Amino acid sequence: MTRPWLGELFRALLSVGAGGAVGMVLGRPLEGLLAGLALYTLRHVYHLAALYRWFRQRRKSPLPAAHGVWGEVFHHIDRLQQRNKKRKKKLTQYLKRFQQSTEAMPDATVVLDESGAIEWFNSAAGRLLGLAHPHDVGQRIGNLVRHPDFLSYVREGSEEEAVEFDSPQDAETRLSLRIINYGKNKRLLIARDVTLLHRLETIRRDFVANVSHELKTPLTVITGYVEAMMDAEGEYPHHWQRSLGTMQQQAARMARLLEDLLLLSRLETTDIAEADHETVYVPAMVASMEEDARLVCGERLTIVVEADPTLRIRGSGEELRSAFSNLVQNAVRYTADAGTVTVRWFADEAGAHFQVADTGIGIPPQHLSRLTERFYRVDKGRSADLGGTGLGLAIVKHVLNRHEASLTIDSEPGVGSTFTCSFPPERVERTAAGEAGTPSLYIASSQ
């Protein structure tokens, strides 16, 4: 038994013993004993009342002095309280520092709970997103920021990607917004002002589009003169014919480049119009691409086509043709003689897929992530020799983005490459035959 408890036992025995002794002197020992016990109990009640009072006063005054077990209890409570005070002070300091730093941040920061309700936000969030203290705290962010791109991002956006839209406060301000999950079902929304970057990007896009457009007319004039000179064979020295031929070839390449640049800038600057949501007869498109490919490669390659004839898609026929034909052209271009190019058009539960597989030179893995950048070519010399400009896959990526589709590239150097464009099931359309039963397969193969 510890010292305070021994002391307490001594105090109890003393109270009861003293009561009993006084009782005996007065000839009433039992009453004496009971009086001693009552006195001892009264002391405990007194200290309990003191503790209760102290709690009621919200622990502002110091605890009263006490001896024995009560002294020990009061001492421990006091120590606990001091420790809590210190911890609270530290936490308040941390919180203050965090709030001061997020306040100073130029980016809007909003803490959301699992239902998307606002728990806290900094002043930049007020400025950029139009949130106001204190009545917006507890409101759902989707009720306050109503931009459709933002709403669909909040619903299904991924953590890696950011969404861009105009600030609800000022249409001139462009925001880039991300939501990051943290802690237990908490979400942090961060919005950055990217107006300057956006403006620069617009200037760059306009510049490329304008230059491409301006170059078209002079190029047409040059091509026209070169053709006229080639036609007038007798009038120029014979050795000029070769130079004129090269000039014509290069002019044609430049015209292709300008066409691609103009198409890219059109894809970047315009929204996919309602009119572009037409039914695209991909099987017919595949058949005509197969014909074109055969004209280019002749007997050089085996071309296999497997297309589900009942499978169609909603989108822009013109854009999809240019994306698909680039993939087929690439396969033909980067496959050595006696190779095979397989074009497939099929559907599964994930949606519809346009796939081009070849047994060509393949692509080393370090290049795969950069292939869809403009002018990116694995082997610049080889690609240029084959007439490539490096804009094809950039166009493919943009077209697919506009159709909520994705591009997967699978490749092994020396073995071959497979490019797959996957469209979501919402875009898939079937003819009656497809709806009724299993689709028949259109298979063509030739050498």
Ligand X SMILES: Nc1ncnc2c1ncn2[C@@H]1O[C@H](COP(=O)(O)OP(=O)(O)OP(=O)(O)O)[C@@H](O)[C@H]1O
Give which of ligand X, Mg ion, none residue 334 binds (C-beta under 5 to 8 Å, depending on kind): ligand X
Write b or e for each residue in 26-49: b if 16 or more Cβ atoms lie within 10 A of its Cβ, otherwise e.
eeeeeebbebbeeebeebeeebee
Positions 60 through 89 that interact with ligand X (CB under 6 A): none
Kindly tell me which of 240 and 376 has the beta carbon lying closer to ligand X.
Answer: 376
Per DSSP, 277 falls in state -
Q: Pull the structure tokens for residue 140.
A: 């759902």
| From candidates 23, 32, 68, 388, binder to ligand X by CB under 6 A | 388
Kindly tell me which of 122 and 322 has the beta carbon lying closer to ligand X.
Answer: 322
* Residue (of 194, 227, 236, 25) closest to 108 by Cα position: 194
Q: Are 422 and 302 in contact (CB under 8 A)?
A: no
212 lies in the binding site for ligand X (CB under 6 A): no
Give which of Mg ion, ligand X, none residue 390 binds (C-beta under 5 to 8 Å, depending on kind): ligand X
| DSSP strand pairing (428-430 vs 406-412) | unpaired
CA 158/CA 184 separation, integer angstroms: 18
Give whole-number Cα distances, 341 to 139, 233, 444, in Å: 56, 41, 12
Tokens 């014979």 found at: 238
Kindly tell me which of 102 and 326 has the beta carbon lying closer to Mg ion.
Answer: 326
339 lies in the binding site for ligand X (CB under 6 A): no
Site string for ligand X, 391-410 (x = CB under 6 A): xxx-----------------
Q: Which residues pair with 180 in a beta bridge?
A: 188
Cα 179 to chain centroid, rounded: 8
Q: Are 395 and 263 in contact (CB under 8 A)?
A: yes
Q: Which amino acid is at 93?
A: Q
CB of 339 to ligand X, least distance (A): 10
Give which of ligand X, Mg ion, none residue 417 binds (C-beta under 5 to 8 Å, depending on kind): ligand X
334 lies in the binding site for ligand X (CB under 6 A): yes
Site string for ligand X, 121-150 (x = CB under 6 A): ------------------------------
Kindly tell me which of 177 and 286 has the beta carbon lying closer to Mg ion.
Answer: 286
| From candidates 19, 68, 390, 434, binder to ligand X by CB under 6 A | 390
Q: Are 431 and 296 in contact (CB under 8 A)?
A: no
Contacts of 443 (CB under 8 A, 6+ apart): 304, 305, 306
389 lies in the binding site for Mg ion (CB under 5 A): no
Give which of Mg ion, ligand X, none residue 308 binds (C-beta under 5 to 8 Å, depending on kind): none
Q: How many chain residues touch Mg ion (CB under 5 A)?
A: 3
Q: Are 278 and 315 in contact (CB under 8 A)?
A: yes
CB of 333 to ligand X, least distance (A): 6
Kindly tell me which of 32 and 392 has the beta carbon lying closer to Mg ion.
Answer: 392
| From candidates 276, 352, 417, 434, binder to ligand X by CB under 6 A | 417
Which region, judged by CB under 6 A, interacts with ligand X, from 202-210, 263-271, 325-333, 435-443? 325-333
Query: ∠ CA(251), CA(328), CA(307), 5° rounding?
Result: 145
Per DSSP, 117 falls in state B
315 lies in the binding site for Mg ion (CB under 5 A): no
360 lies in the binding site for Mg ion (CB under 5 A): no
Residues near ligand X (CB under 6 A): 260, 326, 330-331, 334, 358, 360-363, 371, 376-379, 383, 388-393, 417
Q: Which residues bind Mg ion (CB under 5 A)?
A: 326, 330, 392
